[in-house]
Chains A and B, each alone.
Chain A
Amino acid sequence: MLAQRIRRGLALATRHRARLIFSGGVPAGKAVTEAGQMLKHARECHAEELDALRHSPLLEERSASTHENAVRTLALLRQAYPKTRDLHVVTNQFHQLRACATFRRAVNHSLSPPLRIWCAAMPPSRPQSRPSPERRAAPCDRSAAQPVDALELSWVLVREVLALGKYWAVGWI
Chain B
Amino acid sequence: MQTRSEAFVALALLILAVALSLVVERVEWLLAADDAERPHAAGAGAVVVLGYRLDWPEGTPVRPATLLAQPDLKLRASLPRRVLCSRNGSVAAWRLRPAIAPA
Contact = CB atoms under 8 A, between A and B. Distances in A.
B37 A2 contact: no
A138 B48 CA distance: 24
A17 B42 contact: yes
> For this complex, into which size category does the number of interface residues on chain A fall?
35 or more
B72 interface: yes
B38 A118 contact: yes
Given A18-B45, A19-B45, A34-B52, A75 B85 contact: yes
A103 B68 CA distance: 20
Nearest to B57: A37
A147 B87 CA distance: 43
A150 B25 CA distance: 9
A32 to B, nearest CB: 7
A20 B34 contact: no
B50 to A, nearest CB: 5
Given A37-B56, A96-B32, A163-B67, A69 B50 contact: yes
A157 B24 contact: yes
Place the interface of chain B in its size category.
Answer: 35 or more
Nearest to A80: B96
Given A24-B53, A129-B20, A157-B27, A75 B94 contact: yes
A96 B27 CA distance: 13
19 contacts: A19-B47, A20-B47, A23-B49, A27-B53, A27-B56, A35-B51, A57-B99, A59-B99, A62-B95, A64-B71, A85-B45, A86-B44, A88-B37, A100-B33, A112-B85, A118-B35, A121-B34, A156-B62, A160-B31
Interface of A: 1-2, 5-6, 8-9, 12-13, 16-25, 27-30, 32-35, 37-39, 50, 56-81, 83-101, 105-106, 109-112, 116, 118-122, 124-125, 127-130, 148, 150-157, 159-163, 166, 171
Interface of B: 14, 17-18, 20-21, 23-25, 27-29, 31-57, 60, 62-67, 69, 71-72, 75, 81-87, 91-92, 94-102
